[in-house]
Amino acid sequence: MRDGFYRQTSRVESEHWWFLHRRALVDDLLRVVSDGRREGGTLRSLDLGCGTGGNLSVLARQGGVAVGLDRSALALELARAGRPQVLLVRADANRLAHSFAPESFDLVTVFNVLYHRWIEREEDVLEQIGRVLKPGGRLVLTEPAFNFLYRRHDEIDFGARRYTRSGLRRRLEATGFEVTRATYFNSVALVPAAVAALVDRVRVFGGAGGGSDESVELKVPPWALNRLLFAICSLERRWIATFGSIPFGVGVLLLARRRGGEGSPAQVGT
């Protein structure tokens, strides 16, 4: 990610409806499978590619020890502000197994990390996540959906690819995980994102390029619109909680369990 994008994210991720919606959706799913405690020990959680730290609140609400890992010194500097209780580690997700001992964590979250250019091979990262998770440990994974939505926003974020739900499921299952929930999300933004992708392609074809390190999409809307969009997204979360998934959206979310331990995947729909 470009420095300007990191700084912009740090400014808006506590109030922008998109970030609020994703965190609320993940919180809903985690409450189904965990009350934030591990019998006989402290819950240990890792946010892989934590960026500027806004999503560490998801781990904090799970209780126990929360760790954030990122390769960017600037991102960790921004994440450290106001979060003295969180352990931050500068390391490369491609070398995760060199940073932590096997079976170190009960929960790992990955928010839009695999799609970055600097990820050498997604399957290698997933296998290493499996090694640092305890048997039966949980993985929460979100990534941008559908290659046709690739646009200027992804370029600023150093994105290299986008995913389908079935494609991510296959990757997880091939690397030792049992997928217990898979859904698209943020359906309200699908049409605007598709229009933005089309406009960006026209601009590139016409020779336009470059520009700011910040994304227009991360500008916080006026207060009333911001609250309205978040309220609309709450209907999406209720639908997912009731029916298990939705068939489209600009993001894809998977909840998975590392094979090899006791768990209760039947509690969560597939």
pTM, two decimals, is 0.91
**Is domain 3-267 annotated with CATH 3.40.50.150?**
yes
- Do the beta carbons of residue 245 and residue 183 sit within 8 Å? yes
- Amino acid 269: pLDDT: 35
Give SS3 for 257. strand
**Residue that the structure tokens 């959206």 belong to:** 249
**Among the listed residues 27, 82, 31, 36, the one whose alpha carbon sits nearest the alpha carbon of residue 58:** 27
What are the boundaries of each domain within the chain? 3-267
Sheet of 44-48, strand order:
87-90, 65-70, 44-48, 105-111, 133-144, 251-258, 177-185
**Among the listed residues 190, 140, 192, the one whose alpha carbon sits nearest the alpha carbon of residue 168:** 140
Mean pLDDT per 10-residue interval, the chain, length 270 residues: 87 95 94 59 90 90 90 94 83 96 96 96 97 96 97 92 98 97 96 94 62 84 96 96 95 95 39
